[in-house]
Amino acid sequence: MKVDYYEVLKISKSATPAEIKKAYRKKAIKYHPDKNPGDKSAEEKFKQAAEAYEILSDENKKARYDQFGHAAFEGGAGGFQGGHMNMEDIFSQFGDIFGSAFGGGGGFSGFGGGSSRGRARVKGSNLRIRVKLTLEEIANGVEKKVKVRRKVKAEGVSFKTCTTCHGNGQVMRVTNTILGRMQTASTCPTCQGAGEVLDKKPKNADNNGLVQNEETVSIKIPAGVTEGVQLKVNGKGNAAPGNNSIDGDLIVVVEELEHATLKREGTNLHHDLYINFSEAVMGVSKNIDTVSGKVKIKIEPGTQSGKILRLRGKGLPSIESYGSGDLLVHINVWTPQNLSKEQKQFFEKMMDDENFTPNPSKNDKSFFEKVKDMFS
Ligand SMILES: [Zn+2]
């Protein structure tokens, strides 16, 4: 007893061609033998769906089926032997129905895989270079021009369609499996899947028709990159042979140069500032480096060693989010190590002076509290 074709595809008699196609697609994917290895009932459903589609997608056959049912195709009069569709016939439909998803080109190349026309576009190899960046460049982003030695197609080189695979990049084999005759694709041994082979090349070119070339490549580096970050410049790696090949990429690895006075910690910067004893006592103004030039900072009279001044937004921008880190200025009071006789006498006099007696207030935070503040 043959199942009704509309029933097989789960569609109504008034389904449009697009709906029929869509319904078949769904069934074919669900019951495909590659997805259901060894499952006889899935194979049967897969064949049924293909058969139903074969009839319902053809206006004439559909009209006859609508009028006479399965009887319309019995006895071979209809030109189509219902139920005798083999796997090869089914797979050969796929090119029309699934287009690029099935790698068309006369071959079935598996689910999800394959590019248009069943041919893998050959891609050249990637090149890697390192660029050294200053903190200032990292802070603002920079455009770097670098010289890159890359392989390009030689002037006057030409490629022709591979005769082994006729440009498909794959050769088909029909094998008998428990699921019936299956077409399997393998990479063409002549062109390694490119679909093209070298035709003519100038003397200076290598066996792939490529030559070494030095090129200046401009690389836009966004602000906030970190050591080890890899940026990709599409198509600036080595070329590959063939008219349809695509060039490899240039991988740019960021290297961070050490700054004379600034240390990086994520988006924050740290600066160790040394002031002398008198400056700490009397107060002072200092020019310090930032990634956007010098800034003047004011140190209040009576500043304790270990104080941290936070310059908001003077750190580095974040590559992932808005805003910038801070610049943290760590104040270190330099205690004099050599004193003149006069200076010695002065400090001796101050030894027991009330003003020289440590008297930390609640506002003078301990080292640990400061660290805690820094990260909050
Ligand atoms: Zn080939």
Q: Which domains does the chain have, with CATH numbers?
A: 5-85 (1.10.287.110), 122-156+213-257 (2.60.260.20), 262-375 (2.60.260.20)
Ligand 1: centre distance to CA 262 (Å): 58
Ligand 1 centroid, distance to 239 Cα (angstroms): 19
Mean pLDDT of 153-178: 86
Neighbours of 209 (CB within 10 A): 23
pLDDT for 59: 87
Among the residue ranges 33-47, 125-139, 281-295, 362-376, the one predicted with the least confidence is: 362-376
d(CA 158, ligand 1 centre) in Å: 16
Residue 26 has pLDDT above 50, yes or no: yes
Q: Look at residue 364 in the predicted model and tell me its pLDDT.
A: 63
Q: pTM value?
A: 0.59
Is residue 83 predicted with pLDDT exceeding 60? no
The confidence score (pLDDT) of residue 367 equals 62
Instruction: Answer positive or negative: Cα dihedral of 74, 76, 77, 83.
Output: positive
Q: What is the pLDDT of residues 102-136, one digit of tens each?
A: 333 333 333 333 334 455 678 899 999 999 999 99
User: Per residue in 137-164, pLDDT tens?
Assistant: 999 999 999 999 999 999 999 999 999 9
- Buried/exposed code over 292-320 (b: 16+ C-beta within 10 A; e: otherwise): eeeeebebeeebeeebebebeebbbbeee
- Residues belonging to the chain: 376
Residues whose CB is less than 8 angstroms from the CB of residue 16 and which lie 6 or more positions away in sequence, other chains included: none
Distance 62 CA to ligand 1 centre (A): 40
Sign of CA dihedral 332, 334, 335, 337: positive
Give the tens place of pLDDT for each residue, 188-199. Answer: 888 888 889 999
Quote the percentage of the chain above a pLDDT of 70: 82
* Cα 44 to middle of ligand 1, angstroms: 35
Token pair, residue 253, equals 């690895």
Name the CA dihedral angle for 304, 305, 306, 311, rounded to a multiple of 10 degrees: 70
342 C-alpha to ligand 1 centroid (Å): 94
CA distances from 149 to 152, 167, 245, 250 (A): 10, 31, 19, 11
What does the pLDDT read at residue 80? Answer: 45
Spacing, Cα 151 to ligand 1 middle (Å): 23
- What are the tens digits of pLDDT across the range 266-312? 999 999 999 999 999 999 999 999 999 999 999 999 999 999 999 99
- 200 alpha carbon to ligand 1 midpoint, in Å? 17
pLDDT band at residue 181, thresholds of 50, 70 and 90? confident
